[in-house]
Amino acid sequence: MATIQTQPDGQGLMDETSDPDPGKRTAAARVLALLGAFSRGGGALTLSEISRYADLSLTTTHRLAKEVLEWGGLELDDQGRYRLSRKILDLASSSTQALRLRERALPHLANLHRLTGLTVHLSVRDGRDVVYLDVLRAHANLTGESRIGGRLRLHVAATGLVLLAYADESCVDDYLQEPLKRYTPEGIGDPATLRACLAEVRRHRFAIASRFLSMRAGSVAAPISNPDGTVETALGVVYMTERDDPMKLVDLVRATANRVSHALADNKPQLDPRTIEFKRRQAGLL
C-alpha cells in the first residue's frame, strides 16, 4: 500500500510506488522535466504546479525539487514557491552564443545605464515569455521579475512587444490562442490591439509599454539585429511614469540597440569573458 507524506503546504503526497509512470522515464529525464516546467509557469511555481507541468507525481516532484534545491539549482521563497537559481542561469549563460551576446552588449548596456540612471534590460524570447539575460537595475524591482532570468508574458513588456513583433506570424497566431491578461487598465487585452501595436513596432523599430504592469512604471525597447538581419534579442529601459518622458528615451535606446547590433557583427576580439563579472563589479553594477 502506498504511504502518504504530508507537506508544509498541507498537501498529501503519494510515495514513489504511486508514480504514474514508474520505469518509463529515466532519473535524468525526470529532472529535465522538472526544470522544463519553469518555461511554462512565469518564473515562480508551487510544488503542485511543477508536478502538473512536468507530468510527475507529487512525491517524485517533491523528492527531485529537494535534491535540485540542495544542489543549488532552485531557490525557495517565503511563499513556498520555487524559482530557478542563479546557478542554473550562470550555466545557461556560459554557452558560447549567450556569453558572446552578453560580452558584446555589456559595455553598451552599462553606458545606457550611466546616461539615463534607469534600469536596463537585455532580453530574449522563450516561448510565450520574455526572459531577461542581463539586468542593470537602478531602482526598486517593481514586478519582482526585473532580474537575470526573470520572466514576463511578451505582451506586457516593451522588450516582449519588440520580440513578438519580429517573430514569425505563426508565433503571433499561437500567442493569441490564449487570453491576453491585463495587469492594469492600461495594458493590452485584445488581439486586434496587439496586432496593431506590433505593426507600429516594426514600422518605427521601438516599443513603449506604459503602465502595463504598474501604474508607476513603463518601459521602452528596441530590437537588436543579428548579422543576418533577424531579431532574437531586445534592449530596453524601465522608466518612472511620473518623472520620465518615454519619447525622450526612444532615440537613445534605439542608438544603443544599434551599437549592440554592430558589435555582434564585428569579428574583432572583444572583452575576455573571464573579466565580465570583474568589470561589472568595477562599474558598480553588481
Over residues 150-170, the mean pLDDT reads: 94
* Percent of the chain whose predicted confidence (pLDDT) is above 90: 54
pLDDT digits (tens, 9 = 90+) for 113-156: 999 999 999 999 988 899 888 889 775 555 545 677 788 999 99
pLDDT digits (tens, 9 = 90+) for 187-232: 999 999 999 999 999 999 999 999 999 999 999 999 999 988 999 9
Task: Output the nine-digit C-alpha cell for 163.
Answer: 520580440
Three-state secondary structure of 239-270: EECCCCCCHHHHHHHHHHHHHHHHHHHCCCCC
Q: Inform me whether the pLDDT recorded for 233 exceeds 80.
A: yes
Task: List alpha helices for the chain, DSSP H.
Answer: 27-36, 47-54, 58-71, 86-93, 96-116, 158-165, 169-175, 191-204, 247-265, 276-282
* Lowest model confidence (mean pLDDT) among 5-9, 56-60, 86-90, 186-190: 5-9
> On the CB side of 263, how many CA atoms lie within 13 Å of its CA?
19
Task: Output the nine-digit C-alpha cell for 30.
Answer: 525526470
Q: Inform me whether the pLDDT recorded for 13 exceeds 50.
A: no
Distances (CA, A) of 91 to 42, 66, 244: 20, 20, 36
Q: Per-residue confidence at 185, pLDDT binned at 50, 70, 90?
A: very high
Is residue 109 a contact partner of residue 123, using CB atoms and an 8 Å limit?
A: no
Over residues 228-256, the mean pLDDT reads: 95
| Of the candidates 239, 236, 230, the residue with the CA atom closest to the CA atom of residue 253 | 236
Over residues 64-81, the mean pLDDT reads: 90
Is residue 285 a contact partner of residue 138, using CB atoms and an 8 Å limit?
A: no
Distances (CA, A) of 189 to 25, 90, 178: 40, 34, 11
CA 113, CA 138: separation in Å to the nearest integer?
A: 8
Q: Inform me whether the pLDDT recorded for 277 exceeds 80.
A: no
